[in-house]
């Protein structure tokens, strides 16, 4: 069975209540630095190694079992970020891969 969890901006794992709404709430925690630029990332992960790592200005999509990162998206609105998280939560990889991911080096 596929498991999901969040990693909050302080590195703590959250294993219950993994929903798009909960992802949206976590995403709001990184939208404002609140004087803490170092801790402005949250991650949505699954037990198959897939993850979306959200930063203040971008999101990275990758799988720890592959040698390269799928890519990055920049300049997304809050609702677009929540939609991406929801796609990973639902396991909709066709939708996730359909986005215009930039090369990690871009």
pLDDT at 106: 56
> Which pTM value belongs to this model?
0.91
Tokens matching residue 103: 């090369």
Mind listing the pLDDT tens digit for each residue in 38-87?
A: 778 999 999 999 999 999 899 999 998 887 678 999 999 999 999 999 99
Residue 106 maps to a domain: no
Instruction: Please give the structure tokens belonging to residue 30.
Output: 């990184």
* Residue 65 forms part of a structural domain: yes
The helix (H) or strand (E) run that includes residue 95 is helix 93-97
Q: In this predicted model, which residue has the larger pLDDT, 3 or 68?
A: 3
Residue linked to tokens 């300049």 = 75
- Per-residue pLDDT, averaged over 23-29, amounts to 95
DSSP state of 103: P
Q: Is residue 32 part of a domain?
A: yes
Counting the structural domains of the chain, the total is: 1
Six token digits for residue 49: 């190694």
How far is the C-alpha of 31 from the C-alpha of 4, rounded, in Å? 23
Q: Confirm whether 103 is domain-assigned.
A: no
> Quick one: average pLDDT of 101-105?
82
Lateral strand order in the sheet of 58-63: 13-14, 4-7, 41-46, 50-55, 58-63, 71-74
75 domain-assigned: yes
Share the mean pLDDT of the chain. Answer: 91
17 part of a folded domain = yes
C-beta of residue 53 within 8 angstroms of C-beta of residue 60:
yes
In terms of Cβ atoms closer than 10 Å to its own Cβ (0-12, 13-18, 19+), residue 59 is buried
pLDDT level of residue 105 (50, 70, 90 thresholds):
low
Q: Which domain holds residue 20?
A: 4-97
């Amino acid at each position: 069975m596929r498991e999901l969890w969040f990693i909050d901006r302080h590195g703590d794992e959250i294993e219950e209540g993994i929903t798009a709404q909960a992802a949206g709430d976590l995403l709001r925690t990184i939208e404002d630095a609140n004087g803490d630029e170092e801790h402005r990332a949250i991650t949505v992960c699954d037990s198959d190694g897939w993850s979306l790592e959200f930063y203040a200005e971008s999101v990275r999509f990758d799988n720890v079992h592959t040698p390269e990162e799928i890519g990055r998206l920049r300049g997304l609105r809050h609702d677009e970020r929540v939609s991406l998280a929801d796609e990973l939560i639902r396991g909709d990889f066709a939708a996730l891969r359909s986005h215009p991911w930039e090369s990690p080096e871009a």
